Amino acid sequence: MHTRPRSHPGTAAPVLPEDSLAYALLTTAQLVADVVAGGTLTESLAKLWIARPATPPGVRGAILDLAYGTLRDFGRQDFILDKLLQKPLQEPVQSLLRVALHRLDTRPDTAHTTVDQAVSAAATVLGGNFKGVANGVLRNALRQAVDLNKAADADMVSEFRHPAWWIRRIRTQYPDNWRSILAAGNTHPPMALRINPLRATRDETLESFAEAELPVCVLPNGALLLERPVPVARIPGFVEGCVSVQDAGAQYAALHLDLADGQRVLDACAAPGGKTAHILESADVMLTALDTDPARARRVSENLDRLGLKANVKTADCRDLNRWWNGRPFDRILADVPCSASGVVRRNPDIKWLRRSDDIARFAAQQKEILEALWQVLAPGGKMLYVTCSVFAEENREQIAGFAARHPDCRRLSIADQPDCQYLPCAEHDGFFYSLLEKTP
């Protein structure tokens, strides 16, 4: 993906009936074009819903499905377009073709409707100049589908739907299971819930889910895995704070932290506060929660308010000790550091295409600074849990091996009998890395 200047505001409503497929295709194309220009899907969606607040839920759902699906499959559509076009078309037409190809791939039963609706959408932008090209490209894609798919399957980026540098990295670092890691990155994410033991027992929760006819299973760490994702409004006990939505992999943080009542705990990179809340639900501790981003720090407070939990929430860069630390060391520190998010890419498929290979070293450098700063505020005998939602070794085991080598007072404690613990993305949870470090007295 090449970063190009944005060619359109991305939120102007197309002149098409809101309930038409053409409208959904074109609106999604504008979102995808924003990502191609270097923006995130989350930001573009937020702007879209502000600009078009009355979008009916069904239309929203169709746009979300198309946007997430197109960005999951992005590498494949560009491979096919490269074969069918001499040069890329102007946005948003190029992205309209990407979205249409994604729909042709996933809904072959409605191929002709997709082509007709994509052509109608093309007629409403750029003076309709690309209507004929759009029609020709999509009809050629249908006619040549067998050959195009064969060629696409033989191309690494198109087959695995990740950038080439990413595939090479995963293949080198995970020679035995690189295929399943990449495949997991292209799936629909599971939906898991965390039970709040301060408000409901597991039995009560399971009973309310059975009554609501929502099948769930209990994972080994106590997380509830829903058979199928559902809107939060349908989740029994959500409004009352009995359960929260949190990936099962993220629910290991509070478990691995080895918490006990009365401890002084620091959650150094806390927003939006899922793990903060889990810590407070698990033990009666004095918790300081930091986040460098003021808007995100506010979300920590909102999340804690919903659950009736209390913490000292501050907006601060955790590396800037002079700004936020009062000199009293912490017994436990959660360092859930900013990272490439390569373990949660199925939730944010735009990330695959927005990241660059050299971003990983940049994240690793930032994580190293955070670790160095936080080690100073950990009490002797205290423990720090380092967490990423990455699968890249530079941010994980290499980071921790380097830290331990630089700090003779750092003892690596085992998690599940391992010096550190890499959970790979799978049907039950996202990809997370955990390492528990003790400061020897």
Ligand X SMILES: C[S@@+](CC[C@H](N)C(=O)[O-])C[C@H]1O[C@@H](n2cnc3c(N)ncnc32)[C@H](O)[C@@H]1O
Bind-site residues? 269-275, 291, 317, 336
CA angle (389 as vertex; 304, 419 as ends), nearest 5: 110
Task: Name residues contacting ligand X, limited to 394-433 (CB under 6 A).
Answer: none
* Spatial distance between the Cα atoms of 170 and 378, rounded to a whole number of angstroms: 33
Cis amide bond preceding 56, omega within 30: no
Binding mask 301-320 for ligand X (x = CB under 6 A): ----------------xxx-
Of 296, 206, 414, 343, the closest CA to residue 276 belongs to 296
User: Both tokens of residue 403?
Assistant: 């830290």
Cβ at position 359, least distance to ligand X in Å: 14
Q: How many other β-carbons are positioned within 10 Å of the β-carbon of residue 257? A: 27
User: Both tokens of residue 47?
Assistant: 């702007």
Q: Contact with ligand X (CB under 6 A): which of 292, 306, 401, 438? A: 292
Q: Contact with ligand X (CB under 6 A): which of 43, 153, 284, 293? A: 293
SS3 419: coil
Task: Name residues contacting ligand X, limited to 111-170 (CB under 6 A).
Answer: none
Q: Are 263 and 331 in contact (CB under 8 A)?
A: yes
Q: Are 55 and 18 in contact (CB under 8 A)?
A: yes
DSSP state of 155: S
Contacts of 405 (CB under 8 A, 6+ apart): none
Pairing of strands 264-267, 286-291: parallel
Annotated binding site for S-adenosyl-L-methionine: 269-275, 291, 317, 336
Cβ at position 260, least distance to ligand X in Å: 21
| Beta pairing partners, 193 | 224, 245
* Spatial distance between the Cα atoms of 53 and 47, rounded to a whole number of angstroms: 10
- Residue span binding ligand X (CB under 6 A) among the ranges 13-21, 169-177, 214-222, 290-298: 290-298
Q: Which is nearer to ligand X, 264 or 299 (CB)?
A: 299
Q: Decide: is 290 part of the binding site for ligand X (CB under 6 A).
A: yes
Give the nearest residue (CB) to ligand X. Answer: 269
Distances (CA, A) of 30 to 5, 97, 123, 343: 13, 11, 15, 27
* Spatial distance between the Cα atoms of 255 and 429, rounded to a whole number of angstroms: 15
Length reported for the chain: 441
Q: Are 270 and 292 in contact (CB under 8 A)?
A: no
Cβ at position 281, least distance to ligand X in Å: 13
Q: Which is nearer to ligand X, 52 or 319 (CB)?
A: 319
Amino acid (one-letter) located at 418: Q
Q: Which is nearer to ligand X, 82 or 293 (CB)?
A: 293
Cβ at position 135, least distance to ligand X in Å: 44
Binding mask 342-381 for ligand X (x = CB under 6 A): ----------------------------x-----------
Task: Name residues contacting ligand X, limited to 229-288 (CB under 6 A).
Answer: 250, 268-275
Q: Decide: is 190 part of the binding site for ligand X (CB under 6 A).
A: no
Catalytic site positions: 389
The per-residue DSSP string of 380-398 comes to: EEEEEEEEES---GGGTHH
Size of the site for ligand X (CB under 6 A): 20
* Spatial distance between the Cα atoms of 102 and 97, rounded to a whole number of angstroms: 8
Q: Contact with ligand X (CB under 6 A): which of 38, 222, 329, 338? A: 338
Contacts of 407 (CB under 8 A, 6+ apart): 375
Q: Contact with ligand X (CB under 6 A): which of 291, 350, 420, 430? A: 291
Q: Which is nearer to ligand X, 75 or 274 (CB)?
A: 274
Cβ at position 294, least distance to ligand X in Å: 10
Cβ at position 54, least distance to ligand X in Å: 31
* Spatial distance between the Cα atoms of 33 and 95, rounded to a whole number of angstroms: 6
Q: Which is nearer to ligand X, 95 or 244 (CB)?
A: 244
Q: Which is nearer to ligand X, 20 or 292 (CB)?
A: 292
Q: Which is nearer to ligand X, 275 or 352 (CB)?
A: 275
DSSP state of 350: H
Q: Decide: is 336 part of the binding site for ligand X (CB under 6 A).
A: yes
Cβ at position 297, least distance to ligand X in Å: 8
Q: Which residues bind ligand X (CB under 6 A)?
A: 250, 268-275, 290-293, 296, 317-319, 336, 338, 370
